[in-house]
Amino acid sequence: MLLKRHPFILLILLGLSAAFGCNRNDSDTFGEKDISDISFMSIGSFSVERIADNWTEVRDGAGRTLVLVPRGEKAPEGYEPQQVVQVPVKRVVAYGYFDIAILKTLGVLEDVLVGVTADIDEWTIPEVVSGMKSGKIAFLGGYSAIDFERLKQQSPELVLTWDPSIIPMMDEMGVACAITTTPVAMCLHARMRFVSFLAPFFNKEKKAKEYFDRVSTALSSIREKTKNVAHEPKVMWGDIYEKRVLVEPGNAWVGELVGLAQSDYQFDDVYGKSCIEISLERFLYSGKDADIFFTYRTEKTGATSKAALAKTNPLLARIKPLKNGKVFSPLPNYVQSGDKLDEILTDISAIIHPECYPGHALRYFREVPDKDPVTPFTAMKRISNIK
Amino acid sequence: MKLINTIWEKLGSIQLTFYLITLMVVDLTTGFFFLKAHPHLFQPLNDTGFIKWATTYAKSNPYESAWLFILIFLMTILSVNTFACTTQRMILLVRHHGFADQKIRFILKLSPHIMHYAMLIMLLGYLVSYLTSQAWESNVLLPGKTVRLPGSSCQVRLTDLAIDYYQGKRLVHMQDRGIDVRAALCIQCEKGKEPVTGILGYNRPIGFRGYSLHLKDFAPKSKSGMAIRKYIQFTIRKDPGTGFYFTGMILFTIGLLLYLTNWLTARN
């Protein structure tokens, strides 16, 4: 009767049910459609649109538009010359480890990569090491001191970078440039689908689909394995540095994965870019009852033991994982293994719920021991300190 | 004729306004959750234009974007309702008040209707913006470098970049962090002619021949940390809707002042 007299009440109820009942099943959330059939695809801040049979328009992480045109064919009107990229691209300079790992996924790394911004001793990807040894891949200098003359000599057709400040120089050189990072951290879906943004540059859409399917399968397996866990551990990911505190926000793929693996991410309410700065108080408050702490630091940068971390920053010693929880640090191959995202996700899930993964050997993280092992050198040092 | 009159009256009814506003509240509440859950889906609306957005992002995510189309539909009816309601009242006012005897009082009584018409003009501005505006995202300028204004021969040069870093003691985490930026730009269209100069900053866009330049980002943001080149990132927009907003805003302000005068006069 009430609904008959006031039909808008029914509409209110319908609206609210749409808003609150919008949890669709997971396969839909991760858009398991055949990407070759899709004329438009948004991947976080990136997008790929087939604007004609042979032209594809892509939007990079900074919102800039590029049009991909088959080699030798005419570009559509309305685009500046620096927006036109001839595909498949044959020579690429890349800044980011993740971009390079995705080139590997697409099976083009050895053929197209001609320049990087990290020296040979920093690489764990065999193809890059061998390419640098043979001279095909050049070290162009650190990100803040790029040797543009050297870059020009390498004749790249495309530069994949996170640094927008090089765009004017690239425009002058007539080299197309795509920004592969975003102002807001990539969510899990965007991280998995990023391969579909790079694939049309090399006509490797099929490879991109294979990668996405592989990571989706890993994710489904994580969900299946962790769905009945009794305990939901509290997880935090970040670190305290000399002047600032940086964490992975809740909207980042890491935060989303932790939630999917039936655990509680302590920075779920933090929103923004990857490695976002928060206050020290907030970090310590979240650390009070956390069970697992993922540090950004590697063994090389100080995460040799909990004691060493506490010594570097005494405030860090206040968080629970350092006192009686678990601390994990990334192994050197972690940042360069974007092509094995499925294995990384599984590693993280196994860390959070070891009971679901009996016998799992970590490949991308190591558990940080309580104390540094005693070596003859440290023993001597201790003795000399006592004296 | 009778049918047209009935429709016209129904369109201007206050009951319709009530239902529409209630539905809009529900729709916007729904939209809030979708916006929060899918910010990447709606962010491109700012620069791609509505039609392009609707045929790409919205088309591939119909469930998440449906609330926006419902909102546009409701807004359209509300605009028609506001126009009909205000025009009906205006007709009544004109019929029952002669211009000759109480000119000022008559004008004062128009104030709510002026505000309603102003609102409609502003909404029209939004519509024009969404349908016709163009945006060129993420233009980067280093000191001394130039960028061409799209669709013109004008060159924009960054002549100076001044970044203020926080030097106070109260906010420790803000120490040496960029808090304000002033980018001196010089726009030159023809050689030999006097260039146009302006200072670009946050909430301080530069307008030039129908274009507007908006600061998006700058670097370096901190005196310490990663060594990054000095640069600004800005958006260039060409938005014919701005004329409508400003006209609407001026008209709204006039209406508000008249309303206030009317209220004070009635009180005294």
Query: Quick one: what percent of chain A has pLDDT higher than 70?
Result: 87
Is residue A24 over pLDDT 80?
no
Tell me, what's the pLDDT at A26? 38
| Contact between A11 and B23 using a beta-carbon 8 Å cutoff | yes
Tell me, what's the pLDDT at A20? 45
Whether residues B154 and B225 fall in one domain = yes
Task: Convert the pLDDT of each residue in B219-259 to its tens digit.
Answer: 888 877 677 888 999 999 999 999 999 999 999 999 999 99
Instruction: Return residues 73-92 of A near B (CB < 8 Å).
Output: 80
Q: How far apart are the first and last CA of chain A?
A: 91
Going along chain A, which residue ranges are E strands?
Answer: 40-43, 46-50, 56-59, 65-70, 84-87, 92-94, 113-116, 138-139, 158-161, 176-179, 234-240, 245-247, 264-265, 276-278, 292-295, 326-330, 365-367
Domain of B146, CATH number, reads: 2.60.98
Q: For B17-25, what is the mean pLDDT?
A: 95
- Give yes or no for a contact between A40 and B60, defined as CB atoms under 8 angstroms apart: yes
Q: For A221-227, what is the mean pLDDT?
A: 91
Query: If we measure between CA atoms, which residue out of A331, A97, A343 comes closest to residue A211?
Result: A343
- pTM value is 0.83
**Which range, of A145-159, A271-285, B215-229, averages the lowest pLDDT?**
B215-229
Whether residues B151 and B222 fall in one domain = yes
Query: Which residues in chain B are contacts of A164 at CB distance < 8 A?
Result: 138, 140, 217, 231, 233
**Residues in chain B, how many?**
268
Query: Which residues in chain A are contacts of B150 at CB distance < 8 A?
Result: 80
Task: Convert the pLDDT of each residue in B183-203 to its tens digit.
Answer: 999 999 888 788 899 999 999
A93 class by beta-carbon count within 10 Å (0-12 exposed, 13-18 middle, 19+ buried) = buried
The pLDDT mean for chain A works out to 86
Query: If we measure between CA atoms, which residue out of A29, A34, A31 comes closest to residue A209?
Result: A34
Query: If we measure between CA atoms, which residue out of B74, B29, B63, B69 comes closest to residue A20?
Result: B29
Of the candidates A8, A19, A49, the beta carbon closest to that of B22 is on A8
Is residue A124 over pLDDT 70?
yes
Task: Convert the pLDDT of each residue in B91-134 to its tens digit.
Answer: 888 887 665 567 777 788 888 999 999 999 999 999 999 888 88
Best mutation target among B24, B46, B55, B60 (most A Cβ atoms within 10 Å) is B60
Best mutation target among A46, A165, A277 (most B Cβ atoms within 10 Å) is A165
Q: How far apart are CA B235 and CA B213, in angstroms?
A: 6
Token reading at A59: 């939007």
Whether residues B114 and B151 fall in one domain = no
Q: How far apart are the first and last CA of chain B?
A: 45
- Give yes or no for a contact between A129 and A195, defined as CB atoms under 8 angstroms apart: no
| Contact between A16 and B30 using a beta-carbon 8 Å cutoff | yes
Q: Which residue of B has its CA nearest to A19?
A: B30
Cis amide bond preceding B220, omega within 30: yes
What range does the domain containing A90 cover?
28-202
Whether residues B68 and B172 fall in one domain = no
Domain of A124, CATH number, reads: 3.40.50.1980
Tell me, what's the pLDDT at B201? 93
Whether residues A177 and A243 fall in one domain = no
**Which range, of A102-106, A194-198, B221-225, averages the lowest pLDDT?**
B221-225
Whether residues B204 and B163 fall in one domain = yes
Domain count along chain B:
2
ipTM given for this complex: 0.79
Whether residues B159 and B90 fall in one domain = no
How close does chain A come to B27, measured CA to CA in Å? 6
What range does the domain containing B128 cover?
2-133+244-267
Token reading at B221: 């943001």
Q: For B52-62, what is the mean pLDDT?
A: 89
Tell me, what's the pLDDT at A37? 53
Is residue A7 over pLDDT 70?
no
Query: Quick one: what percent of chain A has pLDDT higher than 90?
Result: 58
Given CB atoms, is B22 within the 8 Å cutoff of chain A?
A: yes
| Contact between A144 and B229 using a beta-carbon 8 Å cutoff | yes
Q: What is the gyration radius of the CA atoms in chain B, in angstroms?
A: 25
Best mutation target among A167, A194, A271 (most B Cβ atoms within 10 Å) is A167
DSSP B177: B
Tell me, what's the pLDDT at A246? 92
Instruction: Return residues 77-116 of B near A (CB < 8 Å).
Output: none
Task: Convert the pLDDT of each residue in A319-348 to its tens digit.
Answer: 999 988 999 999 999 999 999 999 999 999
Q: How far apart are CA A177 and CA A99, in angstroms?
A: 13
Whether residues B140 and B165 fall in one domain = yes
| Residue given tokens 């700065």 in the structure block | A277
Task: Convert the pLDDT of each residue in A153-168 to its tens digit.
Answer: 999 999 999 999 999 9
Q: For B66-76, what is the mean pLDDT?
A: 95
Give the residue with greater pLDDT, A148 vs A26. A148
